[in-house]
A and B are shown apart, each in its own frame.
Chain A
Amino acid sequence: MIWVDTIVQGILLGSLYALFAAGLSLVFGVMRLVNLAHGDLIVLAAYLILVIASLLGMGPFVATLAAVPAMFVIGWLLQTHVLNRMLGEDILPPLLVTFGLSVVIQNALLVGFSANSQKLTAGAIESASLPLGPVTVGVMPLLTLVAAVAVIFLLNQLFYRTALGRAFRATSDDAVTAGLMGIRPQRVFAMATGLAMVVVTVAALFLGTRASFDPAIGPARLLYAFEAVIIGGLGSLWGTLAGGIVIGIAQTFGAAINPEWQILAGHVAFVAVLLLRPRGLFPRAVD
């Protein structure tokens, strides 16, 4: 029975990684941009929620609602004024710029908040749990899974049921021809990054309520997110959820065998999937 519990805990942990990865997957899917500052932007959003919650005396869930529009604007401005200038045939400039941005965010947070660990306190719900058949699951991890599925579902609806989604996919296919359809690719990219930051804020809520965070943890979150996107198949949103869950299950199994193996097991699973399916579990038909 312990293995059932391990798998369930792995799925719940993996849903957090899927939340980390969904924004990365969205941006990559639309503009083929790997944002190396993605993990730091999650941490930035967590601090933003913390500040709003502290200043206005509200819980982290309500504070997240206030942080969402702010993060959307940050993403929109970042894309419009920085990243759009870097996009082109050469993939190196956006990588360098987002790497630089990562360093800047980490150091700015260090100056503003020190290296001390912080946590978003959500009250009794943090330790609440539910018996689900043979296993007991925490309410917060369960909410993380619900949020991850909801985010991926809504992003899919947006991609495949709306005019904006058509513009995302068309621009991803061929930005020049999309221009002939009246689409302004740079505005589409700004909207995509803005939306990615909304997802990042949701991820930050669950990051901050489930564990402590400090300015330096961004790059590790990026790594999990990146691995989840690659395992799932580049640009596939449901694949990203599956990728996060694969890493989560691998980590909990690793930890069940030996606690020191938790992180390593996740990376081993990543390498194993790459070896067996180099394009990921659910590659896009068009790439």
Chain B
Amino acid sequence: MTAPLLQTVGLTAFYGDFQALFGVDLTLNAGETIAVIGANSAGKTTLMRALTGLLPHDPGTIRFKGAPLGALGAAAVLARGIAMVPEGRKLFPSLSVEENLLIGADTRTGAGYWNLETIYALLPVLKERRLAPATALSGGQQQMVAIGRALMSNPEVLLCDEISLGLAPVVIRDIYAAIPKIKESGASLIVVEQDVGQAMKVSDRVYCMAEGRITLEGRPADLSREAIHDAYFGVSA
């Protein structure tokens, strides 16, 4: 049996003395899109930070293709093929739209599907604004730049942290319209969302988090509204 593409086994994480994750078990198989839902402070972003090497964790609790990721930093994790669209987009204000995209590929060693041409084909509005400062764009366009920037490294795993946050529904729809094409390119996705409906639509499996723990896991079709409600708000059965 092939090992999962990305897996956490009893993952714990701390901010100083404060424990933010309590034994999180999560599995992403190749080709899958999973969603991680949960309220504010549920530990979703902490999980993303641990997965990308931004937050120290016990070596051995995160496995990529069956091998422990160890205590790699963010740059080394990206080199393995795990890229993130960070919460709040975090574009570089000193760089133009195109430079923000290019910097995603600057440390890439191999070739892949994603390059400026394919990104512009996926998100045409970025080509029109390519010379503008990235932060001069609308919120939705900035989110597109953040997604394009992460894709430019041709990741095997793309982590999307709250990509709908603060955006109008019509804009969210446009952004999520890009997900199938990203999956076609061969990337597997972990989508962190507060918007449960959106998460259920795009994912093959859903994990719900509350207070740093996984409280529910399953296929969207198998999960009842009540079970999601209870898991989302950390209500014990």
Contacts and interface: CB of A to CB of B under 8 A. Distances in A.
Given A167-B103, A170-B103, A182 B153 contact: yes
Contacts of A181: 78, 103-104, 106-107, 149, 153
Given A163-B102, A167-B103, A170-B103, A179 B93 contact: no
Contacts of B95: 166, 169-170, 173
Contact of B92 (A163, A170, A184, A285): A170
Interface in A141-176: 163, 166-167, 169-170, 172-174, 176
Interface in B135-153: 149, 153
Interface residues of B, number: 26
A178 B52 CA distance: 12
Given A166-B99, A176-B54, A177-B86, A183 B94 contact: no
A183 B92 contact: no
B97 interface: no
Given A166-B95, A166-B103, A177 B78 contact: no
Interface SS, B side: loop
Nearest to B100: A170
Interface string B109-136: 0000000000000000000000001000
A182 B108 contact: yes
A180 interface: yes
Given A163-B102, A166-B99, A170-B103, A179 B75 contact: yes
B79 interface: yes
How many chain A residues sit at the interface, stated as a range, is 20 to 34
A9 to B, nearest CB: 36
A177 B74 CA distance: 9
A178 B92 CA distance: 9
A182 B86 contact: no
B32 to A, nearest CB: 22
A176 B107 CA distance: 16
Q: Which of B53, B94, B104 has the most CB of A within 10 A?
A: B94
Contacts of A284: 94
Nearest to A284: B94
B106 A180 contact: no
A174 B108 CA distance: 20
A276 interface: no
A182 B107 contact: yes
A286 B94 CA distance: 7
Interface in B48-106: 52-54, 73-75, 78-79, 83-84, 86, 90, 92-95, 99, 102-104, 106
A182 B83 CA distance: 9
Given A170-B95, A173-B94, A179 B74 contact: yes
B6 to A, nearest CB: 16
A178 B103 CA distance: 9
Contact of A180 (B84, B94, B133): B84
Contact of A183 (B75, B83, B84, B99): B75
A271 B74 CA distance: 44
A182 B78 contact: yes
A184 B77 CA distance: 12
A200 B103 CA distance: 29
Contacts of A285: 133
Contact of B106 (A176, A182, A286): A182
17 contacts: A163-B106, A166-B99, A169-B95, A170-B92, A172-B94, A173-B93, A174-B92, A178-B92, A179-B53, A179-B54, A180-B54, A180-B90, A181-B78, A182-B106, A182-B153, A184-B73, A285-B133
Interface of A: 163, 166-167, 169-170, 172-174, 176-184, 284-286
Sorted from nearest, which 9 A-B pairs have the closest CB atoms? A182-B107, A179-B74, A169-B94, A177-B90, A182-B78, A286-B93, A173-B92, A170-B92, A163-B106
